[in-house]
Chains A and B, each alone.
Chain A
């Protein structure tokens, strides 16, 4: 059975304090790993897609990396506006995503 586990469940950072979120997965035939950001009361917003181990993608203060067992979302010098829930999902070759339960990030000024 496909599984996605995200850690930590919640993370509180001071502004400028860099950290990483983890997404470990067990899936047969990974066709893509996705990172989304979700603000309270809103739908998930796409951040990155990673297709193969060793791949990295960056956007502003965020950088996503992928290995054969896990993905990391690195947040460099975060700002309060980076506060959100970050969701990881895998596409295992069937027709839909399998999501983790997310990491709630709070960045304090």
Chain B
């Protein structure tokens, strides 16, 4: 199993450009998440999905959109990038079944620089 994979690994954008980050998991997980990580601020939740075709806002959703058309994929879009969106983006997933909270597994991250 590849686990959670993310593409691209690194990207440079100019202010106002758009892009899509792709997250894929091969563990048949129901729940998927997008976080951003900034120095000194920890990981903050952007959007999440509890199943195919569903999405919900997290702590810092402004400026981002997401889609979950297929169970294994979770896309994060930036319609008009801003320098404040310079960050490292992590995708995560968990099984989402059963009474206890299972482990979230993380991808390797996408480093985004907005100039």
- A-side interface residues toward B, CB under 8 Å? 4, 31-32, 34, 36, 41-46, 49, 51, 87, 89, 91, 95-97, 99-102
Q: Cβ of B108 < 8 Å from any Cβ of A?
A: yes
Which of B61-69, B73-81, B96-104 lies on the face that meets chain A? B96-104
Q: A49-B103, A95-B31 are in contact. Are A44 and B48 (CB under 8 A)?
A: no
- B-side interface residues toward A, CB under 8 Å? 4, 31, 33, 35, 40-45, 48, 50, 56, 58, 90, 100-101, 103-109
Rounded to whole Å, the gap between the CB of A72 and the closest CB of chain B is 18
Instruction: Tell me the nearest residue of chain A to B35, going by C-beta.
Output: A99
Rounded to whole Å, the gap between the CB of A80 and the closest CB of chain B is 23
A87:B42 contact, CB within 8 angstroms? yes
A residues within 8 A CB of B41? 101
B residues within 8 A CB of A4? 42
A43:B106 contact, CB within 8 angstroms? yes
